[in-house]
C-alpha cells in the first residue's frame, strides 16, 4: 500500500504482522471498544517476536497501540479480536445485543474469508466457542430441487465477478415440491405455496455486502467481486453504508 511504499523509499524498516482494511474493522466497530491482538506466527522470519495490541475505544476516539514482549513456548501467535458491546441499536439502544444476534451478524457478513473465524463468548455462566469456516461460492439448494436446477458458473475477468447463478423455474419448483410431498405422504393434491429461502449474496473481499442485483424471481446467486483481473487492480467501490455496490446498475448489466 501507499504507506509501505513511502516508508520503504525513506529506508524505514517496516514489517507488518497483520493488515486490516477499513472494511474489516468497520465490521467490528459496532462495539464500544475493540481490541486487536496480533503476533507473527513465524517470528524467526522477520526477527520480530513482539505481541502488538491495537485498542480502539469506539469509532470517534483515539487509537492506541501497545507492544509487549512475547517469547517462549507459550507465546501468543496469530490474531485475536475482542469486542465489548454494552448498547444495542434501533429501539433497544440501552440493551446490549444477545450473543445469538452477534453470532448471526458474523455468520451473515463474514462468508468467504481466506481463514476460519474462531469465536469465543464469555459470560458469568461460562464460555462457548464456535468456528466459522469460509462458504463456497456456490448456491445451496435443498436436495429436492437439485435435479430441477440449472447451475451457471460465473468467472468473468472483465467485470470482476466470480461464483455461481442457479435457476429453478417456477414450474420445475412446483413439480419437485409436489413429488417431495407425495413421497412423504403429506398430500395427494397440489401442495400449498412452499417458501424456499433464497441465498443471494454479493461478496467483496469475503464479506457479504448485499444481494446480487437484477436477478429474476426464479434465480439465486452467490457472486464474489475480484480485483486481480481488473485494469485498475481494485474492487468495485461499495456504498457508504457498505451494504451494496455504489454502481449496482453496472453489476446488474454485467
Per the model's pLDDT, the better-predicted residue between 53 and 234 turns out to be: 53
Look at residue 67 in the predicted model and tell me its pLDDT: 92
Cα separation, 112 vs 88, whole angstroms:
26
Average pLDDT over residues 3-16: 68
Residue 193 in this model has a pLDDT that exceeds 50: no
**What contacts 172, CB < 8 A, 6 or more positions away?**
148
Look at residue 195 in the predicted model and tell me its pLDDT: 42
Predicted TM-score (pTM) above 0.85: no
Q: How confident is the model at residue 53 (pLDDT cuts 50, 70, 90)?
A: very high
Look at residue 244 in the predicted model and tell me its pLDDT: 64
Average pLDDT over residues 129-145: 89
Q: How confident is the model at residue 246 (pLDDT cuts 50, 70, 90)?
A: low
Across the chain, mean pLDDT equals 77
Residue 197 in this model has a pLDDT that exceeds 60: no
Look at residue 17 in the predicted model and tell me its pLDDT: 45
DSSP string, the chain: -HHHHHHHHTT-----S----HHHHHHHTTSSEEEEEEE-SSHHHHT---EEEEEE-STTS-EEEEEE---STT---EEEEEEE-----GGGTTSPPPHHHHHHHHHHHB-S-SS-EEEEEEETTEEEEEEEPPPPSS----HHHHTT-EEEEEEETTTTEEEEEEE--HHHHHHHHHHHHHHTTS-SSPPPP-------EEEETTEEEEPPTT--TTEEEEEEE--TTSTT--PPPBPTTSSSBTTHHHHHH-
State pLDDT tens for residues 204-234.
888 898 888 888 888 889 998 887 766 766 7
Average pLDDT over residues 189-211: 68
Per the model's pLDDT, the better-predicted residue between 140 and 252 turns out to be: 140
Amino acid at each position: 500500500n501507499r504507506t509501505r511504499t513511502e516508508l520503504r523509499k525513506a529506508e524505514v524498516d517496516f514489517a507488518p504482522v497483520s493488515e486490516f482494511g477499513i472494511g474489516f474493522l468497520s465490521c467490528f466497530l459496532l462495539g464500544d471498544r475493540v481490541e486487536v491482538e496480533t503476533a507473527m506466527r513465524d517470528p524467526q522470519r522477520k526477527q520480530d517476536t513482539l505481541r502488538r495490541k491495537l485498542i480502539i475505544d469506539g469509532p470517534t476516539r483515539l487509537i492506541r497501540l501497545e507492544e509487549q514482549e512475547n517469547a517462549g513456548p507459550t507465546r501468543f501467535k496469530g490474531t485475536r479480536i475482542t469486542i465489548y458491546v454494552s448498547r444495542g441499536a434501533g429501539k433497544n439502544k440501552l440493551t446490549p445485543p444477545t450473543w445469538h444476534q452477534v453470532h448471526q451478524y458474523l455468520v451473515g457478513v463474514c462468508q468467504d474469508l481466506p481463514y476460519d473465524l474462531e469465536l469465543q463468548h464469555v459470560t458469568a455462566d461460562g464460555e462457548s466457542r464456535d468456528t466459522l469456516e469460509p462458504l463456497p461460492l456456490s448456491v445451496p439448494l435443498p436436495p429436492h430441487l437439485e435435479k430441477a436446477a440449472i447451475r451457471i458458473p460465473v468467472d468473468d475477468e472483465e467485470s470482476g465477478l466470480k461464483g455461481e447463478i442457479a435457476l429453478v423455474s417456477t414450474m420445475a419448483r412446483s413439480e419437485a415440491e409436489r413429488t417431495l410431498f407425495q413421497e412423504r405422504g403429506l398430500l395427494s393434491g397440489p401442495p400449498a405455496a412452499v417458501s424456499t429461502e433464497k441465498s443471494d449474496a454479493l461478496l467483496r473481499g469475503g464479506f457479504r455486502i448485499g444481494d446480487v442485483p437484477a436477478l429474476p424471481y426464479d434465480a439465486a446467486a452467490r457472486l464474489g467481486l475480484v480485483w486481480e483481473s481488473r485494469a485498475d487492480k481494485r474492487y468495485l467501490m461499495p456504498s457508504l453504508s457498505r451494504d451494496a455496490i455504489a454502481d449496482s446498475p453496472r453489476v446488474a448489466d454485467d
